[in-house]
Chain A
């Protein structure tokens, strides 16, 4: 049995027939070929798959594509459509907030969610807000600096 879903992803509407069990992350990666969203685990721990779903940061491996029917999703591909980095991306670049880059798309959305709720977070608040996003390369310190720099640049 297949389901029809309709999602707006990065401003574009997609109507697709999907298997009911299809996860949002697989819908994005395999159905739409938006591979910027990463998969780092199978237990909803790592946060690599974090995207914006109707303005809220969600781990897209915890959500069925069918549940997102009618929703609007922003993935990493939607942040700099014309190649112009947004402020959070710019701050991660500036502060060396990434090494291998695998956790980065998820980190960027976790950052956006934090800054939307708190435009000027302390280092401790940042560390707390990122506890659901794992990075094995950076030791997090430059990610914290990146978030601070993004906040200082007025990123929301």
Chain B
């Protein structure tokens, strides 16, 4: 009797459980702080309590005499040993002023948290105790903390090399902006403060350095998103040849951009180990993390949009003051420029844009990428002024967007800033979001509620983002001091199990699972037979790291290509073993067989064995079953989506309650939908955090007033609704797997979506803008000023 066997579900696209989880669930995973070496010492760093001051004198004698203390060092000790910390994104045409950033300040401290000295002791507690005994005589100087104020005449000057505190000025323009504004029936304007945020990965930063004086070799365990870049930069700053430097990113507890750059503490830890010839560990406390690890955002934006009276957008013009902090962090200049300005026209057909961006030094912690990096700031600006336009013209915010969206395209669309988006169906995502949310019904509900004095708001946000960074030639052209390709090695062992070595460095995103799914899908092995190795420069091939939603997009592509090379070799070997022409060898579900003779076959495991023992190889074929790919993407990928938020504002208290959140995202094909959904949840919530709760606050002297988790409000479980997650699928035409990226998507659009919903709720009060975060106090004050 014939039985029907259901075709096995394809592993690519199935939401299987993560392979990395058992070690994380049982406490067996080792993060940097968990690693202890024999003879290990602990470093504690003394940091500036002033936003801006001259160091007159440092006395470490008492600290050196304290119990357990092995050494204390100041900036003077690093002279000639450590170079300054380099900036690695030298945006061209911007008159960039990279001012010297010493790993330990020598004469002037420029932000609260600037490193001043370090104590190394037998225990962490002894090191912290001794740090308190260091005496520093400071001469405080006036500080400047606001990027717009800092460029004004008379503002305190932070670096002599950067007059008016201007680190760079960069302009992007496309189309005829003057003509657009001349032709306009209407111009709407807004001033937006993209407040400074603190990334707050739950694991703080830290390092464990072990220098061996006898060989000159250094091993560094580091909380990083990109160990290969760490090795490169560390070798330059500490003058250790790259071949003697091994960087390991062990388990890493989230990064969100804050673990891209190398920060003072990393270099100080290495320096101490080099000086003492012993392992030295430094782990930030959370309060230290808030001062010393990089921050994000910090824009002041003046924006204006020109349009016709029927709501067709003609042009967008803006000026941005982007706070850089006291020094330029690794990628900082690229964020408000390349990753921001080039995305100004978003998913809309806008004929002309112009933006002037001033990168500004302030007496604050350096700014770096923070989830979304530049794109949330661009998306917010655009989605905000579109709502203003809709309001002015009395057109529904959805309708006005529809009138301007780029129509669907599947293989390239040129936009005004010079980019070529890969594929998009913005209308499709919007329609899906509207239908799911029940947009029309929501509007009715809102009208009914208003009659009863309840204020419901509906916010819409549409985005397209640039990710999968990116073609290395473009990276070079825009001043990035590195490449942006990725690499993968696939190695089959005799038993048919495989190791995959990748240069990127996931830290929570689940690629140990999704990448095993790629191999399983391409070659018919089981996911459990593929181990993904990452995060160690000694074992993995070069790669540029995990950020910018690029790991699956670029590293995953490298892996797909490598598995296809394996497949080609397997076909050749099969044809030899089965004495058939290679053109006649077919592959299906893990089997290589002669066309028409499915029983004459070899499995990938057979081939792995035969290739490894090499008893019977075709003429000229090398033994082994291994492939390496260096993949440089031909273009970026451009994920997109449409989100809808529903809020209710309590008129008595100003409290914003987020009632619903609908997210429709399109990242092309999904390798593991469960993981994609998790990325959306986390990303959306981080963006909501910016809209409603988060803000790093400095006083005029440069004191960080939100200097601990007690003062800086990241989202908690009890203040959030479930996110309703949906997708559309528009594959990237140039990607070997048709995938895009999903890591940052939620954050890029959720801030403006929630913000738009709150302003929509306050329409009866005539409120047009409130500075973020939309705390009850601010919302209440805005309402009271206007009144319904």
Task: Write the residues of chain A forming the contact surface with B, with a CB cutoff of 8 angstroms.
Answer: 19, 21, 29-30, 33-43, 45-46, 48, 75-77, 79-80, 83, 85, 89, 92-94, 96, 98-105, 108, 123, 126-128, 130-131, 133-144
Contacts A100-B508, A127-B720; A36 near B286 (Cβ below 8 A): no
Please tell me if B579 contacts chain A, counting CB pairs below 8 Å.
no
List the A residue with the shortest CB-CB distance to B35. Answer: A35
Is B27 a contact of A100 with CB atoms below 8 Å? no
Q: State the CA gap A141–B252 with chains docked (Å).
A: 22
Nearest 7 pairs of A and B residues by beta carbon: A36-B27, A101-B24, A100-B508, A102-B253, A139-B685, A76-B27, A139-B681
Q: Within the assembled complex, what's the spacing in Å between the Cα atoms of A131 and B681?
A: 17
* Complex contacts, B720 vs chain A, CB 8 Å: 127, 139-141
Q: Determine the residue in chain B with the shortest Cβ distance to A36.
A: B27
| Chain B residues within an 8 Å CB radius of A98 | 21, 24-25
B286 with A100: CB separation less than 8 A: no
Q: Is B716 an interface residue (CB 8 A)?
A: yes
Partner of B286, one of A35, A43, A99, A103: A43
Contacts A36-B27, A41-B708: A92 and B21 contacting too (C-beta < 8 A)? yes
- Residues on B with beta carbons closer than 8 Å to the beta carbon of A41: 286, 708-709
Whether the pair B252, A100 counts as a contact (CB closer than 8 A) is: yes
Q: Which residues of A contact B20 (CB under 8 A)?
A: 101
Give the residue of B26, B202, B686 whose beta carbon is less than 8 angstroms from that of A89: B26
- Residues of B near any A CB (own CB < 8 A): 17-18, 20-22, 24-31, 33-34, 36, 123-125, 200-204, 251-254, 256, 285-287, 507-510, 674-675, 677-678, 681-686, 708-710, 714-718, 720, 722-723
Residue from B20, B21, B287, B507 whose CB has the most chain A CB atoms within 10 Å: B21
Chain A residue with Cβ nearest B707: A43
A93–B21 alpha-carbon span in the complex (Å)? 6
- The contact sample of 10 A-B pairs, CB cut-off 8 A, is A35-B33, A35-B34, A38-B202, A42-B708, A43-B708, A93-B17, A100-B202, A135-B717, A140-B685, A140-B717
The minimal Cβ–Cβ distance linking A140 to chain B, given in whole angstroms, is 4
Q: Which of B507, B708, B722 contacts A100 (CB 8 A)?
A: B507
Interface of A is mostly: loop
Q: Given A35-B34, A131-B718, A144-B717, A102 and B202 touching (CB < 8 A)?
A: yes
Report whether A127 and B717 are in contact in the complex, using a CB–CB cutoff of 8 Å: yes
Is A131's CB under 8 angstroms from B716's CB?
A: yes
Q: Which partner residue on chain A sits nearest B30 by CB separation?
A: A35
Instruction: Across the interface, name the chain A residue whose C-beta is closest to B36.
Output: A33
B254 near A130 (CB under 8 angstroms)?
no
CA distance A131 to B204 in the complex (A): 20
Q: How far is the CA of A37 from the CA of B31 in the complex (A)?
A: 11
A94 CA / B21 CA spacing, docked (Å) = 10
The interface residues of chain B lying within 8 Å CB-to-CB of A101 are 20-21, 24-25, 29, 251, 253, 508
Residues of B within 8 A of A45 (CB): 708-710
Complex Cα distance, B714 from A49, in Å, reads: 18
- B681 touching A136, Cβ below 8 Å: no
Contact B24 A104 (CB under 8 A): yes
Question: Bound complex: CA of A138 vs CA of B677, how far in Å?
Answer: 10
Q: Are B201 and A100 in contact (CB under 8 A)?
A: yes
Verify A105–B717 contact, CB threshold 8 A.
no
- Give chain A residues whose Cβ lies under 8 Å from the Cβ of B509: 99
B254→A127 contact, CB < 8 A: no
A139 and B716 within 8 A (CB): no
A91 CB to closest chain B CB (Å) equals: 10
Cα distance A19–B29 in the bound complex, in angstroms = 28
- How near does chain A come to B521, taking the closest CB pair, in angstroms? 20
In contact, B717 and A131 (Cβ under 8 angstroms) = yes
Task: Name the A residues within 8 Å of B33 (CB-CB).
Answer: 35, 39
CB neighbours (8 Å) of B508 from chain A are 99-101, 137
Q: Are B286 and A136 closer than 8 Å at their CB atoms?
A: no
> Looking across the interface, which residue of chain B has its beta carbon closest to that of A135?
B202
Most chain B beta-carbon neighbours within 10 Å: one of A42, A108, A131, A134: A42
Residues of chain B within 8 A of A85, CB atoms compared = 22, 25-26
* Bound Cα distance A130, B286 (Å): 20
A21 and chain B: residue at smallest CB distance: B125
A136-B202, A142-B681 known; A92-B25 Cβ under 8 A: yes
User: What 16 additional pairs, Cβ within 8 angstroms, besides A100-B203, A130-B717, A139-B723?
Assistant: A38-B202, A38-B253, A42-B708, A93-B17, A99-B678, A100-B251, A101-B21, A101-B24, A101-B25, A101-B508, A102-B253, A130-B716, A130-B718, A136-B254, A138-B678, A142-B681
Structural contact, A77 and B718, CB atoms closer than 8 A: no
Nearest to A98 among chain B residues (CB) is: B24
Q: What's the Cα separation between A42 and B286 when bound, in Å?
A: 6
CB proximity of B658 to chain A, nearest CB, Å: 12
Contact A80 B254 (CB under 8 A): no
User: In the complex, what residues of A have CB within 8 A of residue B708's CB?
Assistant: 41-43, 45
Instruction: Please tell me which one of the listed residues A29, A46, A80, A96 contacts residue B678 in the complex, with CB atoms under 8 A apart.
Output: A96
In the bound complex, residues from chain B placing their C-beta under 8 Å from that of A37 are 27
Contacts of A75 in B (CB 8 A): 27
Contacts of B254 in A (CB 8 A): 99-100, 102, 136-137
Task: Give Cα distance in the complex from A137 to B123, angstroms.
Answer: 31
Contact between chains at B723 and A141 (CB < 8 Å) = yes
A42 near B287 with CB under 8 A, answer: yes
Q: Is the CB of B27 within 8 A of A105?
A: yes
Distance, CA A137 to CA B674, complexed state (A): 14
Asked if B17 and A142 sit within 8 Å, CB to CB, the answer is: no
Bound complex: CA A7 to CA B197 (Å)? 41
Q: Are B25 and A77 in contact (CB under 8 A)?
A: no
Interface centre among B678, B716, B717, by most A CB within 10 Å?
Answer: B717
A58–B386 Cα distance when bound, in Å, is: 49
Q: What is the distance, in angstroms, from A136's C-beta to the closest C-beta of chain B?
A: 5
A39 to B, closest residue via Cβ: B33
The answer to whether B17 and A138 touch across the interface, beta carbons within 8 angstroms, is no
- Compute how far the CA of A131 lies from the CA of B714 in the bound complex, rounded to whole angstroms: 11
A28 to B511, CA, bound (A): 31
Which residues in A have their C-beta under 8 angstroms from that of B684? 139
